Amino acid sequence: MQQAHLANILHFLSEPSASEEERSYEYFEKGLLVVEEGKVLALGYAKDLIDTLPSSTTVYDHKERLLLPGFIDTHVHFPQLEMIASPGADLLNWLNEYAFVAEEKYANANYASEQSDRFLDELLRVGTTTALVFGTVHPESVHSFFTSCKKKNLRMVCGKVMMDRNAPTALLDTPQTSYDESKQLIETWHHKDRLRYAVTPRFAPTSSEHQLELAGQLLKEYPDVYLHTHLSESVSEIAWVRELYPKRDNYVDVYDKAGLLRPKSIFAHCIHLADNEWKRLAETNCGVAFCPTSNLFLGSGLFSMKKAKLFSVKVGLGTDVGGGSSLSLLQTANEAYKVLKIRNEQHSPLLGLYLATLGGAKTLDLENIIGNFMAGKEADFVIIDTASTKLMEHRITHCESLVEQLFVLTMLGDDRAVTQTWSGGVKVYDCANDIQI
């Protein structure tokens, strides 16, 4: 069955540059998105397309609303939602005081299942349709998460944490159990419907060399699974990695020697990398998750987009909840703007929206499947009210251009701007009843 959505529609075709953004996007005022069997069939002006629709088409009129591709979160921890906004002294203290304490609860499958549903509800409320997600060390956490996603046929990537040292005993696995459990989860979930698996060593300090080698072994056996971990987030973490891995040249080299650098390997943070580390990430075509709310909240440092560009490394936005302080990619784009501003790095006011959509898709190697509305891509989109608060309404009336309006959306917008979320051509969230469907 065909469906069509009337709205003002915007999507990106490429990354907007600071001096020139117009060629980077397409905008259809009074546009029409035609969807068939969960995929985009056509996009254009309603006046050109409306008469071509078969009479059986269901037409949804979103009026003056803005229709954007669904947001993509390239780094988030679902079990940490319950301790978001916990004030740690720094990353390592925060992990011990709050993150590990919350994660211990996920040994209980019922608890994990309840929390998976809750997390997905929140994700859809903020308009995120795809995320690269950390579970906990417990395989149950990933079974629960994927089971919740499967019910709504979402496109999500998740993995069980591999962690065999420097954490509470209740959260430790061993190299062999982490290998076996990850392998079993891959066999069960990878490519089931729209789900994909990520081999997920937490970070170098909580994995022995042997465990990282076995993670590399899994990547050899399953070349199209993801690798998802943290890299170069805080100065004390980096000093610790140097102590734990004295034979390695640097932090990137720890992962490199274990065979973890390749496309579909996504590293969160990457704040303090040396040039030779950036170079190696570029050579191996790895992706990076820029997590501004987390980096500011934990005081970890300021990410450099300039470096990523200089070395041509793919970048997406990550919320990194619970280190991050919001699940909203709009709020994340807001903080990203400020981080780059304080670094004095020039960028387009549209960069945040690009990173939250097509940039995220490219980083996750999913740009042929999601990220914009090219024909054949999956119909994941959000309906946005750019006047969702009194202040936004007031501000928008003073905007003189589309770019200005979109920038205001990323500065003032949050979950209140998201009125509906659609995944694979199915409505999965509607603020009208504030229920997840």
Task: State the residues that interact with Zn ion by CB under 5 A.
Answer: 268, 320
Return the number of the residue (320 or 378) whose C-beta is nearest ligand GUN. 320
Told to check if 327 binds ligand GUN by CB under 6 A, we report: no
Q: Which helix (H) or strand (E) holds 406?
A: helix 402-412
Concatenated DSSP letters of 242-303:
HHH-TTSSSHHHHHHHTT--STTEEEEE--S--HHHHHHHHHTT-EEEE-HHHHHHTT----
CA dihedral 150, 152, 153, 156 (to 10 degrees): -70
Closest-CB residue for ligand GUN?
323
Return the number of the residue (92 or 399) whose C-beta is nearest ligand GUN. 92
Q: In Å, how far are 76, 209, 287, 292, 346 from 92, measured between CA atoms?
A: 17, 20, 24, 18, 32
Return the number of the residue (99 or 317) whose C-beta is nearest ligand GUN. 99
Told to check if 304 binds ligand GUN by CB under 6 A, we report: no
- Count Cβ atoms within 10 A of the Cβ of residue 157 and give its class: 0-12 exposed, 13-18 middle, 19 or more buried: buried
Q: Which helix (H) or strand (E) holds 431?
A: none
Return the number of the residue (89 or 437) whose C-beta is nearest ligand GUN. 89
Q: Where are the alpha helices (DSSP H) in 137-250?
A: 139-151, 175-189, 209-221, 235-244
State the number of binding residues for ligand GUN (CB under 6 A). 11
Return the number of the residue (189 or 203) whose C-beta is nearest ligand GUN. 203
Q: How many CB atoms lie within 10 A of CB 53?
A: 17
Of the candidate residues 79, 323, 349, 424, the single one contacting ligand GUN (CB under 6 A): 323
Residues 187 and 102: their CA atoms lie apart, in Å, by 28
Told to check if 232 binds ligand GUN by CB under 6 A, we report: no
Instruction: In angstroms, give the least distance from the CB of 172 to ligand GUN.
Output: 14
Instruction: In angstroms, give the least distance from the CB of 328 to ligand GUN.
Output: 17
CA dihedral 362, 365, 371, 377 (to 10 degrees): 140
Return the number of the residue (11 or 160) whose C-beta is nearest Zn ion. 160
Instruction: In angstroms, give the least distance from the CB of 302 to Zn ion.
Output: 17
Told to check if 202 binds ligand GUN by CB under 6 A, we report: yes
Instruction: In angstroms, give the least distance from the CB of 134 to Zn ion.
Output: 6
Residues that bind ligand GUN (CB under 6 A): 77, 91, 95, 99, 202-203, 230, 233, 294, 320, 323
